[in-house]
Chains A and B, each alone.
Chain A
Amino acid sequence: MNLNTTYSEQELVDLLQHRNEKAFTYLYDNYSGALLGIVNAIVTDKETANDVLQNVFINIWRRIESYDPSKGRLFTWMLNIARNAAIDEVRSKGYNNSQKNVPFPESNEIAGAVTGTDITDVGLKKILGNLKGELRVLVDMSYFQGFTHEEISKALNLPLGTVKTRIRTALIQLRTMIQ
């Protein structure tokens, strides 16, 4: 809960890079909910999502020196750490039992898996539901499941260039839906 202090982005980064605990508390209080939102879109199990978020904040604290403001905002950096951690979790062995797993499913399975709208989806994942069939599959596979363009190209039997342009088209559409 942020009672009265607010920091500019640069102040916050400076303080964090100097291991200021109060700034870290501020970071947690203000951004943990948003980061859990993205983690939860990938790791649907709530308890696991909380565990992932724990590692995300530990990573942020340990890796804050490597954050480079010229490459993007702090939140973007944290968001990508959160997304990658969540994807790693889903792909790790421990998560295999009941959830989506590492071996690549057949392309028609993938299409089937993401066409049903799950009404509990929130945030980006929910907006994703508004994209048309193939575009939705492409964004789901690349952003939420972390497959590379090459892997998607093989799995869907589409030329690499097509995969790339269609993902970009999808992202542009997503953006207009967010705004």
Chain B
Amino acid sequence: MNVQEYISSGIVESYVLGLASEEERKEFEQYCQQYPEVMKARTDFELVLEKQAMQNIIVPDPSLKSRIWNQIGVTGKVLPMVEPVPVRKMSWIKYVAAASVILLIVSLYWNISLFNKNQELKNNYDLASEKIKEMEHDKQVLQQNPHVKMASLKGMEASPQSFATVYWDTASHDVYLLANNLPVPPTDKQYQLWALLDGQPIDLGMLDYYVKQKKLLVRMKNAQKAQAFAITLEKKDRSDVSKPQGDMYVMGNL
């Protein structure tokens, strides 16, 4: 038998993941005893899988542990027992012991909450990177379209660090806004995108604050003609939305 060929046939992964047939299992277990390379390949993959699983944990319901312990009838005492000590002579030990138990409990609690927090952050991070991936994809599609023009909108006096990008399809007139960096608006205000033509603003729609969007890339109203684009921050209950009244945050030419 060619051991290397056998190892790289996918049998190792298939066995470890529990997808091998009964016959394949028996054969694999026999080869593991016979060839140290096969055994090593198995352990290597097991460790890869274990590491992967340990990086993708989901914290169980906190009540689950006691439910399990009740069912299997173990006491589940995690904290070390504090032995009763003769009180008169060594009463200080009691306080030390009590204090250390309290410390231990506090530290356990601290650990658990940090752990949960960490998990939450990680989940948020995963979600965010997924969104970014999606956005990158949309961006790529847009960038590959020969009709699409791009305008980088740079921060104005009101918010110099702001930055946004507009993709305008000159064939279909579709407008997409990528809010790269816009500050969180006050709750009574919202951003509005404008196309500028001969100095005149044309309303291209309001931007629901972008973190609420599943995609960071937002489709706006179509623009027939434009020389530049700009975003202003406007009051939400404004009666006439066809003219900008608030501060201009970003602007850029095509």
Contact = CB atoms under 8 A, between A and B. Distances in A.
Interface of A: 1, 3, 21, 24-25, 28, 32-38, 40, 47, 49-50, 53-54, 57-58, 61-62, 70-73, 75-76, 79-80, 83-84, 119-120, 122-124, 126, 142-143, 149, 165, 167-169, 171-172, 174-175, 178-179
Overall SS of chain B's interface: helix
Contacts of A33: 57-60
Given A21-B75, A143-B17, A178-B49, A28 B126 contact: no
Contacts of A3: 104, 107-108
Contacts of B208: none
B58 A40 contact: yes
A72 B48 contact: no
Contacts of B29: 70-71
Given A21-B74, A28-B65, A38-B53, A179 B10 contact: no
Given A72-B46, A119-B130, A168 B58 contact: no
A73 B50 contact: yes
A171 B10 contact: yes
A179 B19 contact: no
Contacts of A50: 60-61, 64
A102 B86 CA distance: 65
Contact of A171 (B13, B21, B47, B78): B13
23 contacts: A1-B111, A25-B76, A36-B57, A36-B58, A50-B61, A53-B60, A53-B64, A54-B64, A54-B68, A72-B42, A76-B46, A76-B49, A79-B49, A122-B123, A123-B53, A124-B52, A168-B13, A169-B10, A171-B14, A171-B19, A172-B8, A172-B10, A178-B52
B127 interface: yes
Contacts of A62: 72
Interface residues of B, number: 55
A50 B60 CA distance: 6
Interface of B: 8-11, 13-14, 16-19, 21, 29, 32-33, 42-43, 45-50, 52-61, 64-65, 67-68, 71-72, 74-78, 104, 107-108, 111-112, 115, 123, 126-127, 130-131, 134
Given A58-B71, A168-B11, A171-B13, A21 B76 contact: yes
A35 B77 CA distance: 22
